[in-house]
Structure 1
Amino acid sequence: MAAFLCSAWLLLLLLSARGLHAADADSDFRYIPHEDLLASSDSFDEPGVSAYSVIQFDLARNQLLVGAKDSLFRLSLRGLSALERARWEAPVNKTILCQDKGQREQDCHNFVKVLQINGKKVFTCGTHAYSPLCSWREADNLNKVLETVSGTARCPYSPQANSTALMTRDGRFFAATTTDFSGADPVISRSMGGLETLRTSQYNSKWLSEPDFVGAFENDEFVYFLFRESAVEYINCGKIIYSRIARVCKNDTSGQLMLKDNWTTFLKARLNCSVPGQYPFYYNEIQGFSYDEPQGLVYATFTTPENSIAGSAICAFNMSAISTAFSGAYKHQAHPGASWERHSPTHSSHGKCPTPGGGLPRGLVDSSKYQLMDEAVKPFTLHPLHVSQPLERLTKIAITLVDTKLHKSVIVMFVATSEGKIKKLGVLPRTMNTCLLEVWEPFSPKVRGTAKIMDLKYLKETDSLYVASSEGVLRVPAQRCARFPSRQACLNAHDPHCGWNELKLSCTTAPNKDPLALHWEQSAPRCPVLTDPVDGSWGSWSAWSSCAYKQGSGDQCQCRIRQCNNPAPQHGGKDCGAGPNIEVTNCTQHGGWTAWSQWSACSQTCGVAVKSRRRTCGNPAPAFGGRVCVGQDHNEMYCSANPPCPAKQGPPPRDGHWSEWSSWTGCSAADCGTGLRTRRRKCDSPSPQNGGQECPGCAEQSELCSASCAEVRKFSTWTPWLAISANSSSKL
């Protein structure tokens, strides 16, 4: 306990002595608010998708590959426009089984953890509801699955597990992860690429002891892994976590018997990031790293333990120091409970890569006996490059090198904090001291505090930083030179990216990427000047939001504001120029009547008549949820002053006269009976007009009629007898 308190007190004294303090967002021009950062950046997020955990550049196809929860994306490098989405969800039976095993529903999805490019193909792995699965896909068509393989020893089961993976240039896949549901079997493995599958010794804490993997990179014939783990060499004194760098040969050929399918070239060494002194202060837990291959430097962020007062530092290690540590003596424990001692085996080839055709490697006994190097890897500067402000934890890191007017390859670092901020740091070339250049706020207030930065990478081709987070993907240009309105403000910023352009009279990057241009001015490198007058400049407008129009009325407007904070005027600098700091629009507008129109003319000039007038609901018209006008929009009244209308003089009346009778109809009687027949006439010759009399009499007449009887045919009386001649042949 006393040691812990002393360490914590030393940390506070150290941070206080270095004069580090938080950037005051209201007065420090180095602070970039979220609205201003977003105005010059590109962002991408898909509704319903979260945990954008891994990004990978595909320069051959000018695209960015992104792995997220249940999804893979292809985005354009500039603009982050969506090119393709491939849904990759765990099947229902897997998610049900995952929950039946006691996992939370939100963890029983497919979280993409591995995303590696190999030529025209992409190798990707996901947790797949605690049943890891990997697949090969086409780089320009992620929905086309070429092959599916097991994710065991390639991808963790849990989305919370820290793992890393690397596809080497020759197509060999290396992974550092866990291989079981409980996460109790950590492994560094090799698969694919035409060589046998290898792994670290199983359940052997001398190889790996509860590690949290941070990253991996390749250099020459080796692959290196960075992680933090429980220090087995300290176990006799208590429990502590150390940062490690491990190394294996790409072409390791495995051993025999006990080392069958195990590495024979596996070695690891401690990474020492500390403040020197009689009692050095150590930042023991590595959190993130970035490898600069041209310079052969490994940059890493380190923190104090989670249960300690928060503190962080950045250290850099060159490959020669790493190689020296791996070429030295080993740290060995003869038997459990024994102290760890320094050992230097004579003529040992342990850790040396096998040569083609050389058979089994020599020193296989040393391979099973020695894994830990005695000497720690020392940083290439005496002090850490950067020690964070009090109570701050640094996580991810990305670096770039910038050529300036006076120096080549000035180191610029971008580091993320556990609070979700990103800091831009510059390293002074001569002293290797670090200066805080900018503090970015990548998250909106709505998610600030809960959003987490999950991956951070810099791409020189676009001079941009790419940020993958729990909320989405962000591309942020590395510089914002244009925000400095004057020459003095530009030079006082001492940003390696920025200088004063005498031709454009503005703060710009090096013209045509030539920092030696005569019309481009930069001052000698130093930390930003915070005491000279700084002229104010307007920040970006906030998003439109509802605001009250009148207190208690319930009426609303849309308002947005901006502040004079980009930068804020300081030390006698000029205030922001003309222009409002608030804009109001779309206020609730209730309808109002216009004035009545003039009365219209009477509907007629004499007798009873009316006149009317109108008004409209347009003074103002109702808008943005306002009420409509109440009342009538039309009004009428009698024209009381009209004179009586004169009597009308019409034509004389004309009496009606009958037309001629029609013909009689047929008789209605049956044969030999009596019936009726009728005839008709009309009062239309002429018709009565102008009040004339109707025709007198009836329009129809009827009379009796009878029908003739039909004749009956009868025989007449007989005639007298007549004489006729007859013969014998005649017949009567």
Structure 2
Amino acid sequence: MTSSAFSCLSKFNLNLLPFILIYFIKLGHGWLPNTSTKLINSANKLSSITFRGNTTSLDHFTVLYQDENSILLGGRNQIYNLSVFDFNERRDSTIFWPSSEAHSQLCNLKGKFEDDCQNYIRILFPTAPGKYLICGTNSYKPICRILQEKNGQIIIEKEMEGIGLCPYDPDHNSTSIYSNGHLFSATVADFSGTDPLIYREPLRTELSDLRQLNAPNFVSTLTYGDYIYFFFRETAVEYMNCGKVIYSRVARVCKHDKGGPHQSRDRWTTFLKARLNCSVPGDYPFYFDEIQSTTSVIEGNYGGNKNAKIIYSALTTPDNAIGGSAICIFDMEDVQSVFQGPFKHQDSINANWLPVPDNKVPSPRPGECVQDSRVLADKNVNFIKTHPMMEKAVPPLFGQPLLIRISLHYRFTAVTVDPQVRTVNDETYDVIYVGTDDGKILKVVNIPSSTGPPQAVVISENEIFSRKTPVKQLRIAPRYGRVIAVSKAEVKLVTINHCEHYSRCSDCLELRDPHCAWDSIKGTCVSVDTATSFRYLIQDIRNGSAVRCRIQPSDNTITTKEDNTIPIDKNSLDTDKDLIDPLLNLDTESTDCNEVDGEKVKGCASQSKLTLYTSEYLHIIVAVASLAGLFVGFLCGYLVSRRFHVHSQFPSPTFIEQHNHLDRLTVNQTSFLAPRTKTVNLDVLNVSTDSLPPKKDNLGSLKNLNITNEGTLQKIKKTYI
């Protein structure tokens, strides 16, 4: 192919190169869910109420307790009581509890700063009607109190040490839960923070046993059945390669554990832990190993199981790795199944970790709740001390993350869920709020599928705090779209509800927000929780298609024109708008979708052309265009090469070879390939030498090319004939 052909092909294909790259990049990222954000809102576009508490110093806020009317915030030396509806502070219910002067001075002597030597409230649980258990850091000497409410007054019923229950440092990742009359906590039990433990008086995990806890960061805890579950991340002791790696864990203990016999009377006899696997599946899975937050147990319809109990969790990659975050769903049935599986065992410090054979597991099975653990045999107690880890990991629901974000700017830090939001079509969807370490909140909807994994649609990305201000906690507030976001210095009640910003039916439906619906009577996008009736509301969360905008619900039946050629049985049509075939031609003129680019059109025919194209159609069009471009480019190059191809003047290869030899001997005498001491007799080859002029050599002398008398005829015959 000539250079012209290549030029033609190159120019044609360079024009298509961006489209080809976009298509194949899309294919290469096929493992990523559809995470395109529909809305990006700055802080000034959101309605919010801010509470800053102590404006002169950092409060290190944390949510202690929340009910239908109030939210209690733990801060510096006090507990704030706010209205959950408007963040109005109830000052008469504020509990002020600073550290004593002696404890503050001792904290300063230990090398801590003045801001550290305060009492930051970390724990509050109602233990009985009118009775509360609260704990604080107390200048790096944790302390707890039991408060009793009597006649509108709060009195101190009891004060006790909080070591093992409350952290020393307000920034330490600790968690706790009150269940079955006891406080279960996961924190540290020393000033330096090197003694992590899971504690319920008087039981604790083993001291300095890396197989149980290895530098953990505790995230959350919950109660489920007869067990208390703890979620945390820690350095993986079973990682055998060079360096170290962080794994996400779930551990459990029995609520009724009473300790073991003899020397194990203050140790758990039911402590077990397993790895949480949140990864993109494949031959070489991509792991999100560091758990950051979880929700409470949510019950709903997931994967065809109408009574499934799940938790949402936010996990990230390490700080020195690719900036990735994911939301994974874990089924509590899968968690329990892993704890019923094989145990992990290592014979020696340099040996591999292998599953324990079933015949070597004692009975009753270690880790199970028993009536009285103090009467267990020594072999059972010793087994669980040396085998606290399960062989299998807890898989994510549907085998993959629900949501993945790869970003150099932020990672996920917190997650909360508005569960099972009911739509006008009597369907339910989970609305997920995800906090990031740069002060943003993502609003996501989990759209289940009957044939495969669910789809996560990111409705909006909202700036809540200033950049580099992580979102520590998230809580759901009353009314749709209202979220409580917590950072170290401030707490915000923010409304992430975008319904009122849309004035067109198609835009409202394409948002795919379960909180929003199109009111066909008012002609506006409204929040579903403010509607008194679903009769005239339109939603399409599953597809986000504006086709439903063409059908206007009415009180009784659907009317048609008299000249309609297709007879319609009015009795066969349900008054519910969602049961009507959207492709049925009713020849009715819609009032909310008959405007395109400011011009009135009949019906929705013009608008339907704008809404029937999806990303799948675009991928097909790009692929077809790419293949067509390659074919046309090849054809173009071929035709051009045929057009400008120069035909050879020599009929045969043999003649060409002879001609080249003669050229070298007669014309290019100065070539290093031609002999300089011999001449060729051209008469023998029937070539006339009369017309050949004498030629000069390098010294300027003339030479005669006639070689008839040189006696070289035989050599020429041998060489060239």
Q: Pick from 179, 185, 207: which aligns with 1:175?
A: 185
Between 1:142-151 and 1:496-505, the stretch displaced more is 142-151
For the Cα contact (< 8 Å) 1:78–1:462, is it kept in 2? no
Shift of 1:160: 2.2
Q: Pick from 437, 449, 456: which aligns with 1:434?
A: 456
Q: Does residue 452 in structure 1 map to residue 463 in structure 2?
A: no
Amino acid at match of 1:488: S
Q: Does residue 187 in structure 1 map to residue 221 in structure 2?
A: no
Output the TM-score relative to the length of structure 2: 0.65
In 1, the alpha carbon distance for the partners of 2:149 and 2:406 equals 42
Amino acid at match of 2:446: V
The number of residues matched between the two structures is 506
In 2, the alpha carbon distance for the partners of 1:394 and 1:283 equals 11
Q: Does residue 397 in structure 1 map to residue 415 in structure 2?
A: yes
Deviation string 1:500-546 (CA, Å, 9 cap, x unpaired) is 1123322113366788x2201002424699xx9xxxxxxxxxxxxxx
Amino acid at match of 2:342: A
- Superposed counterparts of 1:268-347, under 5 Å: 268-295=273-300, 296-343=309-356, 344=358, 345-346=360-361, 347=363
Q: Does residue 369 in structure 1 map to residue 395 in structure 2?
A: no
Q: Secondary structure at the match of 1:232?
A: coil
Q: Does residue 105 in structure 1 map to residue 114 in structure 2?
A: yes
Could you tell me which residue of structure 1 aligns to residue 538 of structure 2?
A: 521
Could you tell me which residue of structure 2 aligns to residue 509 of structure 1?
A: 527
Q: Which one has more relative contact order, counting CA pairs under 8 Å at least 6 apart?
A: 2
For the Cα contact (< 8 Å) 2:260–2:374, is it kept in 1? no
Q: Pick from 72, 88, 91: which aligns with 2:79?
A: 72
For the Cα contact (< 8 Å) 1:314–1:385, is it kept in 2? yes
Q: Pick from 343, 349, 353: which aligns with 2:369?
A: 353
Q: Evaluate the alpha carbon distance shift between residue 449 and residue 105 of structure 1 in structure 2; reply closer, same or farther with a 3 A threshold.
A: farther
Deviation string 1:55-96 (CA, Å, 9 cap, x unpaired) is 144437x32111012221111121111113222222233223
Q: What are structure 2's unaligned runs of at least 5 residues?
A: 1-24, 301-308, 550-595, 599-721
Amino acid at match of 1:157: Y
Amino acid at match of 2:106: L
Shift of 1:433: 1.4
Could you tell me which residue of structure 2 aligns to residue 383 of structure 1?
A: 400
In 1, the alpha carbon distance for the partners of 2:446 and 2:373 equals 47
Could you tell me which residue of structure 2 aligns to residue 50 of structure 1?
A: 58
Q: Evaluate the alpha carbon distance shift between residue 393 and residue 58 of structure 1 in structure 2; reply closer, same or farther with a 3 A threshold.
A: closer
Could you tell me which residue of structure 2 aligns to residue 730 of structure 1?
A: none
In 1, the alpha carbon distance for the partners of 2:532 and 2:253 equals 41
Could you tell me which residue of structure 2 aligns to residue 632 of structure 1?
A: none
Could you tell me which residue of structure 2 aligns to residue 692 of structure 1?
A: none
Shift of 1:377: 0.3
Shift of 1:378: 0.4
In 2, the alpha carbon distance for the partners of 1:12 and 1:471 equals 41
Q: Evaluate the alpha carbon distance shift between residue 270 and residue 499 of structure 1 in structure 2; reply closer, same or farther with a 3 A threshold.
A: same
Shift of 1:438: 1.2
In 2, the alpha carbon distance for the partners of 1:436 and 1:123 equals 39
Q: Evaluate the alpha carbon distance shift between residue 361 and residue 321 of structure 1 in structure 2; reply closer, same or farther with a 3 A threshold.
A: farther
For the Cα contact (< 8 Å) 2:236–2:245, is it kept in 1? yes
In 1, the alpha carbon distance for the partners of 2:132 and 2:313 equals 27
Q: Secondary structure at the match of 1:434?
A: strand
For the Cα contact (< 8 Å) 1:407–1:429, is it kept in 2? no
Could you tell me which residue of structure 1 aligns to residue 227 of structure 2?
A: 222
Shift of 1:273: 0.2
Amino acid at match of 1:393: R
Deviation string 1:84-115 (CA, Å, 9 cap, x unpaired) is 32222222332232232222333222222222
Deviation string 1:106-138 (CA, Å, 9 cap, x unpaired) is 322222222222232222211111111112224
Q: Evaluate the alpha carbon distance shift between residue 513 and residue 293 of structure 1 in structure 2; reply closer, same or farther with a 3 A threshold.
A: farther
- Superposed counterparts of 1:600-639, under 5 Å: none
Output the TM-score relative to the length of structure 1: 0.64
In 2, the alpha carbon distance for the partners of 1:506 and 1:139 equals 49
Amino acid at match of 2:371: T
Q: Does residue 208 in structure 1 map to residue 217 in structure 2?
A: no
Could you tell me which residue of structure 1 aligns to residue 100 of structure 2?
A: 91
Q: Greater helix percent: which structure?
A: 2
Deviation string 1:676-714 (CA, Å, 9 cap, x unpaired) is xxxxxxxxxxxxxxxxxxxxxxxxxxxxxxxxxxxxxxx
Could you tell me which residue of structure 2 aligns to residue 166 of structure 1?
A: 177
Could you tell me which residue of structure 2 aligns to residue 577 of structure 1?
A: none
Amino acid at match of 2:457: C
The structure number with the bigger radius of gyration is 1
Shift of 1:336: 2.6
For the Cα contact (< 8 Å) 1:125–1:134, is it kept in 2? yes
For the Cα contact (< 8 Å) 1:122–1:136, is it kept in 2? yes
For the Cα contact (< 8 Å) 1:273–1:378, is it kept in 2? yes
Q: Does residue 131 in structure 1 map to residue 141 in structure 2?
A: yes
Shift of 1:428: 1.5
Q: Does residue 115 in structure 1 map to residue 120 in structure 2?
A: no
Shift of 1:44: 5.5
- Superposed counterparts of 1:649-660, under 5 Å: none
Shift of 1:173: 0.6
Shift of 1:284: 0.6
- Superposed counterparts of 1:17-32, under 5 Å: 18=32, 30-32=39-41
For the Cα contact (< 8 Å) 2:233–2:249, is it kept in 1? yes
Q: Secondary structure at the match of 1:224?
A: strand
Tell me the percent identity: 31
Q: Pick from 430, 434, 437: which aligns with 1:411?
A: 430
Amino acid at match of 2:245: I
